[in-house]
Amino acid sequence: MNSSFIATISPKGLDFGKSETRWLLFLEDNVGKKVVITLPKVKRTISQNSLYWAYLGIIESETGNTADDLHNYFRRKLLPPKFTTVMGEEIKLPRSTTELSKLEFGEYMDKIASLSGVSVPNPRDLENFITNY
């Protein structure tokens, strides 16, 4: 029996929709066992990505480094690497920013601000930068 369920949290509890019968059968078969509920990880948004690249443009204008070089530098410096095995050999790869949740991405940008000395811009203030860039 499939032991994976998707439910919506409502004020009355969990709503299993069409899989409620399967959920109830699962409960009968697993009395006394524990269930772990994990919320889905929400990936960074398109607006966060736009802000990020505009922010790298601001840092580029202050440092002379390209936004692409800054992107690669920051992700290698600030994100833990991921390890994978290729042809029997474990290798270290830089982590991608696309793997970050909304919260992790915000923390990543705060670390960039700390490292670069350039504050993360307010999205409303970006219009001035883009107009004058």
| Residue limits of CATH 1.10.3790.10 in the chain | 46-132
Q: Which backbone phi and psi does 86 adopt, to 5 degrees?
A: -125, 120
- CATH level 3 topology of 46-132: NinB fold (1.10.3790)
Query: Which SS3 state, helix, strand or coil, does residue 91 take?
Result: strand
Residue that is written with structure tokens 């390209």 in the block: 66
Of 58, 65, 60, 62, residue with least CA distance to 126: 58
Question: Residue 52 is inside which H or E element, if any?
Answer: helix 46-63
Answer whether 0.75 is exceeded by the pTM: no
- Give Cα separations from 124 to 34, 35, 43, 121, 128 (angstroms): 47, 44, 22, 8, 8
Paired residues of 93 in beta bridges? 82
Digit-by-digit pLDDT tens for the chain (133 residues) are 457 778 888 888 888 888 888 888 888 888 998 888 887 777 777 888 889 999 999 999 999 999 999 999 999 999 999 999 999 999 999 888 988 888 899 999 999 999 999 999 887 776 665 555 5
